[in-house]
């Protein structure tokens, strides 16, 4: 107990000394002290926040858009979705707007934009129940690279290079565009197919 009392007295005396120094401090010394404190705070903020922001960005984008929203059926990142279980428990009438679709970790997810409307018991504007579903891609649109080039109305010739920092692709030099007529290419293909069919018949 005696040691604690002694330590407490020493601490109190130090505090009183600091208070007296601050009271007797001149305006110039006070301004210098505050300026030094501000500079140190700025250095700490700039050093920590940049590194922290980079880390949070890499952590957020590391997985990619793999989370399917059970309301709008769109792909989202992990930081943009929440579980649908809490929403179902808080508002059971939300079930009519959800598709009960599970994606990552075999769980049902809802994006933040849909969550804001569903939390207020409103239909989200991008919801599937609002007739905002994507049209099914027909089978004849699954073309290979050669067919895509033949049917493309424009062909772009450009030089892509990988940047030294970030490893992102960038365009170097000019971009040359060639405008093509689809009818001529289709007619050429049609006539060439007819010739092949005739050759097969004669053979």
Taking CA atoms, 86 is separated from 15, 49, 122, in Å, by: 50, 32, 17
DSSP letter (8 states) at residue 166: T
DSSP type of residue 35: H
What are the tens digits of pLDDT across the range 89-98?
A: 888 888 888 8
User: Looking at residue 168, what is its pLDDT?
Assistant: 79
CA 63 to chain centre: 10
pLDDT tens digits, 22-38: 666 666 777 777 788 77
The pTM assigned to this predicted structure is: 0.47
β-partners of residue 171 are: 160
Give how far Cα 84 sits from Cα of 75, 89, 93, 202, Å. 15, 9, 13, 66
**How many CB atoms within 10 Å of residue 191?**
10
- Is a pLDDT exceeding 70 seen at residue 197? no
Mean pLDDT, rounded, for 109-136: 87
| pLDDT for res 44 | 60
pLDDT at position 1 is: 46
| pLDDT the model gives residue 179 | 79
Contact 131, 72 (CB under 8 A): no
Model confidence at 18, pLDDT cuts 50, 70, 90, reads low
The model's pLDDT over 140-164, given as tens digits with 9 standing for 90+, comes to: 777 887 777 777 778 888 888 887 7
């Amino acid at each position: 107990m005696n040691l604690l009392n002694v330590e407490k007295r020493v601490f109190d005396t130090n505090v009183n000394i600091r208070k007296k120094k601050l009271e007797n401090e001149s305006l110039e010394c006070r301004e210098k002290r505050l300026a030094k404190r501000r500079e140190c705070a700025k250095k700490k903020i700039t050093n920590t926040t940049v590194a922290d922001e980079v880390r949070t960005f890499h952590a957020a984008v590391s997985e990619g858009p793999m989370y399917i929203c059970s309301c709008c059926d769109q792909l989202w990142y992990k930081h943009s979705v929440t579980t649908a279980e809490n929403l179902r428990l808080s508002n059971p009438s939300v079930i009519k707007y959800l598709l009960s679709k599970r994606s990552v970790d075999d769980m049902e997810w809802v994006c933040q934009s849909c969550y804001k409307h569903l939390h207020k018991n409103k239909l989200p504007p991008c919801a599937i129940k609002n007739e905002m579903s994507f049209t099914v891609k027909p089978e004849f649109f699954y073309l290979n690279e050669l067919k895509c080039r033949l049917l493309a109305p424009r062909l772009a010739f450009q030089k892509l290079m990988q940047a030294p920092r970030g490893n992102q692709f960038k365009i170097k030099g000019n971009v040359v565009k060639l405008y093509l007529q689809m009818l001529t290419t289709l007619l050429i293909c049609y006539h060439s197919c007819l010739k092949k069919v005739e050759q097969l018949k004669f053979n």
